[in-house]
Structure 1
Amino acid sequence: MKEEKSQKPAFIFGKRNYIFMTIGIVFIALGFIFMAGGGSDNPAVFNEEIYNWQRIRLAPTLVIIGFGIEIYAILTSPKK
């Protein structure tokens, strides 16, 4: 009779990797939230709010930082 060894499922990433992935997702989500809006209710009226610094500078920067954090989280080796 053979004894079957029960092994715990091994995760690909460690706890530290998942924490960084969560932080990256939060940055990306915040960036997209800041990009939202700025439209006008009346299509005949132009709204200058679309050129706000928050939508032009801050939001894309947050998204790029979030993607950088995600890449870092994927490429770091998990601590064993």
Structure 2
Amino acid sequence: MANPHFAFTKKNYVLMLIGLGIIILGFTIIGLDKEPHGFGVLGTVLGPIVTLAGFLFQFYAIFHKTENK
């Protein structure tokens, strides 16, 4: 039987784990906001930007193609 072709390589999975870490970091930053209901700078500006960057990094990790030599 021939080698099966997987959709993702090890590098894709490593990049996805990094993206997941960035998303978790963003939600943690939102949770660290001391203002009531998270209406401070951390909860309304910095945390959501980091979280969005994590999701964008996830898209990059999914669509990243490795070069076949």
Same fold (TM > 0.5): yes
Q: Which interval holds the TM-score relative to the shorter structure?
A: 0.7 to 0.9
Instruction: Percent identity, please.
Output: 29
Which structure shows the higher helix fraction?
Answer: 2
> Which has the higher relative contact order, 1 or 2, with Cα contacts under 8 A spaced 6 or more apart?
1
- Based on CA coordinates, which of the two structures has the bigger radius of gyration? 1
Number of residue-to-residue matches in the alignment: 68
**Equivalent runs, 1:4-15 vs 2, <5 Å:** 5=1, 10-15=5-10
Cα-Cα RMSD:
2.4
- Paired residue type of 1:57: V
CA change 1:9–1:67 in 2 (3 A) is same
Mapped to 1, the partners of 2:33 and 2:26 lie a distance apart of 14
> Scaled by the length of structure 1, what TM-score is found?
0.66
Please list every run of 5 or more consecutive structure 2 residues that lacks an aligned counterpart in the other structure: none
**Aligned equivalent of 2:43, options 38, 45, 55:** 55
